[in-house]
Amino acid sequence: MNTPRTRTGKIRALQESAALFSFLQANGIQSMQQLHEKIADMNSRYYDLRAKIVTAERRIAILTERGEMWEQYNQYKSIHKQLAKIKPEKREQFEQRHSRELILYDAADRYLKELKDSGEAITPKA
C-alpha cells in the first residue's frame, strides 16, 4: 500500500527527473561526456564570476572608506580652521572642548595626505 510519504517521495523524484531532463534537453546534452563538459564550463564561469565579485567587493570597501574619510575631513575642517584663529591663551581650552572633532579631522587629513603622496588621485565625486 502506498503511504502519503511514499507518494510525496515519488512525486519529488519525478519532479527532479523532469527538471534534469529539461536541463539536458535545453543544453543539447546527449551523452555523459557532454554533461561533464557542461559542468566543467559552468564551474569555470562560476569561479571567474566569483573572482570578479570579490574584486568588486574589495574595491567598494576601499571606495567606501575613502568616501567616509573625505566626509569626515570636510565635516571637521571648520573646527580645525577655527583653532588656527584662536588666541594662544584660549587655544588649550578650545582644543579640550573640541578634542574629538580635532582628532577625527587629523586622522582624515593624514589618511588623505597619504593617498595623495602615494600618487592616488583624490576625486571624491568619482
Going by C-beta distance under 8 Å and a sequence separation of 6 or more, which residues neighbour residue 115? 66, 122
User: Mean of the pLDDT values across residues 15-42?
Assistant: 95
CA nearest neighbour of 96 among 114, 113, 74, 79 = 79
The span from the CA of 80 to the CA of 93, in Å, is: 14
pLDDT at residue number 14: 94
CA nearest neighbour of 126 among 51, 41, 67 = 67
pTM exceeding the 0.85 threshold for the entire prediction: no
What are the pLDDT digits (tens) for 49-93?
A: 999 999 999 999 999 999 999 999 999 999 999 999 999 999 999
The DSSP secondary structure of 54-108, one letter per residue, reads HHHHHHHHHHHHHHHHHHHHHHHHHHHHHHHHS-HHHHHHHHHHTHHHHHHHHHH
